[in-house]
Amino acid sequence: MQVYAVTVVFYFTMLLLLVVLLSAVSTVWGQAGYGYGYGEGDYAQCLTNHRAPTTSDKNARENQQRSRLEFSIALLKQIVKRNPSENVFMSPLGIYNALILAYFTSAGQTERSLRTALFLPPNQDKTDVLKAYTTHKLNLHIGRYKSQVHSANRLFISVEQTIKDCMGEVFFDEIEMVDFSPKGLPKTVDSINNWVSSHTNNKIQDLVAPDSISPSSQIVLANVAYFKGEWKHKFDPIDTIMDTFYISKNRTAQVPMMFQLNTFNHWRSDRIGAELLEMPYLGPTNDQSDISLILVLPDPSNSQYPAADVVMKLDYASVQDIVKESSDERNADKVDVRIPKFSLESTLEITPILEKMGVGDLFTPTSNLTGLTGGPRIRLNSAVHKAKVKVDEFGTEAAAATVFTDTRIPGESFTCDRPFIYLLYDKKEQSLLFAGVYNYPPK
């Protein structure tokens, strides 16, 4: 039997670009000083201006998991609402992590707006959020996740800025001092592009053009997220045939449709009006991964945008139901599965989307990111999100969920021949790594 390589791959890069307004009175010169010997109280004072944490949240990690998921759902809904007929693909986790880093550097009204937009508990101290962020970052770099998932943040900061000592130590891995002057800008652009490329397995290259960053810039906040997984049950390429995909009542297209008959968790949800299938990936040691691709196929309807309608019904409770149902062994069934083989690249200008979600003045001259420098104000100018996805015969995962299901076995087949939603979900970290809507075959 021929052995196939890993070929189900999700790539993502998010870039928050172009920062400072030169309306600041002056810029402080110097590089970050990385202090040592800081304790929890020092970090608390650095992040919150209090010598000791104002709270000690024993459930910080669980609270951040919930805030991540609530933000991810709200983001997906906002993007799909703006693009109901378009293909969508993005990484909610990556965007959340980038904004969390901005939150740590924020103060005043900007901090309060980001706290609300990120669904962070109002009584949770910044120090507790930092603990949860650090734990999550560690989990993505060790053990079972090391070979499958990678996520990283980077603050490319002008050498003209002075970084607070404690921030330099807390975010040692995230900070890189660069030269945005006309002479140093080409090297800085190369540094950013090389960092993005190296963290996405060279799948995203030359993301930043030399003319997209100006010599007046003071900071570029970047996040990358990368996933690579192999289906637990692969499709045989011999079984892939051209078949009809029903984009709408009056519009069809031919797509390469993959096929297999195997046991998957398969159910339907009356709550969101859809049929669901979970396809599991292999873990690093060839056991089943905690990461699943959940396919959500809207019930047949007369709606103009059936997939968008289902997305609008998603909320924290319904997604939790889906994940819970995905672990129910009673949903395991032998299913005839047919899904399109496709690859997609998406670039989104997400500044207006984030503003609609309530990030406040993050992208305006009044933004307050002085938690990073303690000096003249700097701001983010725009947010661009770029993502790539490739799905073919050699990747898979299984599971199932939804307590609001009246019919546990919806049928013996699952055919994605009309618009559908796909969610790449990490059960252990309770994170929506990537999410997409397939409305028509990508060109």
Domains of the chain: 8-229+344-389 (3.30.497.10), 237-342+395-438 (2.30.39.10)
Looking at residue 400, the DSSP 8-state letter turns out to be B
* 438 beta partners: 420
Top mean-pLDDT range of 158-172, 264-278, 365-379: 264-278
Cα 349 to Cα 16: distance, rounded to the nearest angstrom? 10
What pLDDT sits at residue 216? 76
When pLDDT is averaged across residues 427-436 and rounded to a whole number, the result is 87
User: What percent of the chain has a predicted confidence (pLDDT) above 70?
Assistant: 77
Backbone φ and ψ for 54, nearest 5 degrees, come out as -75, -20
**One-letter amino acid of 383:** A
pLDDT bucket at 338, cuts 50 / 70 / 90: very high
pLDDT per residue as tens digits for the range 138-149:
766 655 554 567
CA distance 434 to 9: 11
Chain segment 220-248, per-residue pLDDT in tens = 888 777 777 888 888 989 999 999 999 98
- The owner of tokens 């000791």 is 52
CB-side exposure of 333: number of CA atoms within 13 Å? 21
Q: Which residue carries 């969508």 as its tokens? A: 88
pLDDT at 24: 27
pLDDT at 175: 85
**Helices (H), strands (E): how many in the chain?**
11, 15
pTM: 0.84
Q: Nearest-CA neighbor of 384 among 351, 423, 345?
A: 351
CA-wise closest residue to 221 among 104, 117, 87? 104
Helix (H) or strand (E) holding 438: strand 431-438
Q: What is the pLDDT of residues 377-395, one digit of tens each?
A: 666 777 777 777 777 765 3
Catalogue the E-assigned strands of 356-398. Answer: 382-391
Tokens of 288: 């089943």
Residue listed under structure tokens 């207006």: 352
Q: Which two tokens stand for residue 250?
A: 């009056």
Do 219 and 156 contact (CB within 8 A), yes or no? Answer: yes
Query: In this predicted structure, what is the pLDDT of residue 360?
Result: 75
Paired strand residues for 278: 265, 399
Q: Tell me which range, 77-86, 345-354, 403-412, is most confidently predicted by mean pLDDT.
A: 77-86
**Residue scoring higher pLDDT (146 or 313):** 313
pLDDT-based confidence at 121, cuts 50/70/90? confident
Q: How confident is the model at residue 23 (pLDDT cuts 50, 70, 90)?
A: very low
For position 397, what pLDDT does the model report?
Answer: 25
How far apart CA 203 and CA 389 sit, in angstroms, is 10
| Contact between residue 43 and residue 168 where contact means Cβ atoms under 8 Å apart | no
DSSP structure string for 85-125: TS-EEE-HHHHHHHHHHHHHH--HHHHHHHHHHTT--TT--
Q: Which segments within 109-218 are labelled E, that is strand?
A: 149-158, 175-178
- Name the CA radius of gyration of the chain, rounded: 22
Residue 49's pLDDT is 55
Residue 117: closest CA among 48, 70, 62? 70
Mean pLDDT of the chain: 77
**157 band by pLDDT with thresholds 50, 70 and 90:** confident
CA distances (Å), origin 366, targets 88, 113, 319, 362, 376: 32, 13, 36, 8, 11
Element (H, E) at 244: strand 241-248
| Two tokens, residue 198 | 């190296």
Backbone torsions φ then ψ of 2, nearest 5 degrees: -75, 140
